[in-house]
Structure 1
Amino acid sequence: MAKIAQVSAKYIIHASIFIDGVVDRPDVIGAIFGQTEGLLGADLELRELQRSGRIGRIEVNVDTKGGKTRGEIIIPSSLDKAETAIVAAALEIIQRIGPCNAKIQVQEIEDIRISKRQHVISRAKELLKNLMDSVMPDSQELADEVAYSVRVMEITEYGRERLPAGPAIEESDEVILVEGRADVLNLLKHGFKNAIAINGTNVPESIIELTKRKVVTVFVDGDRGGDLIIKEVFSSGGEIDFVTKAPDGKEVEELTKKEIHKALRSKVAAEQYKLEAPVKSNTSPRQQRPAPRQSRNGGREEKKAEPRTVKKLSDSEKKKFGQMLEDLIGTRGAYLLDEKLNILGKVPVTELQSTIKSLRGGVYSIIFDGVVDKDLLQVADRANVAFVAGMSSKVKSSGQVQILTADDF
């Protein structure tokens, strides 16, 4: 008798059998072939279908208890849907098996292709999960290792001190000055190849020489250590152009590409940083504040303000102020000068008043691209500023501060 494996069948007929008596498996199979013979025509004769392999081996599982037999019939089929359904329905006409009454009930016709499809989906999910859990991390780890190796290979050594630096340190016009090797590595990772590390708190001679040839941006950690590095760089005699810091509490070596770009975009000029840096005094406010003198009658004697002399504008000062004011047209910037007319710093007009307050003196004149107003005049007067030069003015000179406008030059 020919066989057809369930794996090659398209459908499987599942039927249950109830027999009022005791029968064996061959009795059930014989009844199926015998009682359906000639019922469905020559094309659907079960024996012929089985010989041609279109119907598989009929599996019968029976269990006898208390003089009753129950079981299951399984028939694999490679016929089409309609023919398989006809064969399944034919099983239900069997009413006797041997000497016993019997009843066969078709439970379902299983589509093997659906079962296979579900198995494929289930297995595919399992394989994909394994791929994501095991294969992908390994691949990523491999890629990271290769990328790290490339970055390490790109690091060069600069100067007599063999300082860690990016490969473009010589050819680039701008240089990023960082604290250590890890910072250079992180910048290399994100495409910045013009970084060089100080490698300590003492600024090497190679760095000082480099600052005289390049546009240098100091990029340090967002902590007190970063402030100390900036202070050391300034005091070393290096010519620093810009200063920027990592976000508070973060180090340069742990910044993302976005954070690095943001920090570099927010860099400030070195002169402006010096002006904005907080001025710390070694004495406490109580020590700085003089004790009021007691008058003879026991009351406090108020200290009278000393008269201040009004400065006269010299020809050389007038000429230099005029040139500076012309240079500032359209920049919305401001120059702060000392008595020798040296530029203490250049700041945006929006930060002019706060900068003057933070300096607490030492500013001789202010030249800025803007309009002199009452608030600026009061701040300048408190800071003992002699001259304020702007494009125009809303107020007149008062006290020791002389106001100059573009019409005066």
Structure 2
Amino acid sequence: MDDTTKYLIHADVIASGVVERSDVVGAIFGQTEGLLGDELDLRSLQQSSKVGRIDVEIDATGGETHGTVTIATSLDKVETATLAAALETLTRIGPCRADLEVTNIEDVRAAKRREVIERAQELFVEAFDETTGSSERILEEVRQQVRVADITEHRGLPAGPRVEDSDAIIVVEGRADVLTLLQYGVKNAIAVEGTDIPESVAALSNERTTTVFLDGDRGGDLILKEFSQVGDIDYVTFAPDGKSVEDLSRDEVFEALREKVPYSVVEDASTPRSAVAATDGSASPAPTSDGTDGGETRPATTIDPEPDTTAVESNEAVATSADSNPIPETGVTIDASEEPADDATDDGATQPETIQGHANAVAGNALVRLLDDESTVVVEGAVSEAFELLDRTEETPTALVLDGPLTQRLLDLAAQRGVTQTVSASLGEFTKRPTNVRLRTIDQLVDDPV
């Protein structure tokens, strides 16, 4: 009957005495028998399954009985309404006076339709909303999976895939910081996971150029203090006050890495974060006239510090140059109005057309020149400003010519900026020598101008 039910007749029943459920059912059958003829006789309808069982719920209190009656039918609307009206002829239940009133005829199919609509809405929201997303959401999910796949471990610590073979590392606080740097292409970060610096990270800092990149809070200060006691720090930088590394945007990450300062600048400061911020990205002592870094002597460091974001390999920067968000170059990009004027070279004199000519021009004059691939001067200045000019020039130079020694620090920056050859008065002692940069002295160029 449940499968064919079309309507439910709901009625209230009141009896003046105490009666049982069976009394109510018997009264309904007895007082409607023969009332509507054989076709609508209640017993016959039940036998033919056109009417379901009569459900009665009653409660006797205070000498009266109150209850409800529910009858399911598969009759049509007219037959159902007629049967419902016949039920209201009931006047007695057993020995008691009684009254039965039909309160509602419920269309079961309409109720089912409401249920179908409500469930369909739930399915639409739950199923389709979770499986359909915007392009940005899909791409972000892919990036998250790629970053998780890229992250590795170094002796149990979260690390980027280049920590094992890179000449430089960036030490951050936690796994989320490593993931953030991976997102922006920095693959040589490693996390210390707390203020207790692991021995493996301390050992790495003695072998690699180490930049400590910490959150802009008291926790970052504590980690720096602990690290300075067990490891060898070359550079230090912080996220802006109140921010964590994992919360930074791409631009904020690279700005912080560009503005890192030698640890010696903040070593004795009571508030290292304030000391870093006060440098405004220029804390590195200016090179002296002989091309060496003024004041930056760190005998405990086994290799010379690299000038900037060593995390981003120069080859990767080239490979992603076609992307809409390429990895920024090491140098800080400045407005053209801030660059040194090109007309500062030789007061308008005719410029040499070869690197050898430029070498002859700077020799003995304590000058440095950055050249493009056509041997045209990109920028010129005093040799003591070589690092700053190379770091800040917007146009990418291909050659560096200077009347001074070529230091490891300057060579590292040149390699990252895309310089393919250097000519200097002398060569320093290099612990790392890039294979894609040709190194010559001015004297060698005279003997071998090619």
Q: Same fold (TM over 0.5)?
A: no
TM-score by length of 2: 0.41
- Structure with the greater alpha carbon radius of gyration: 1
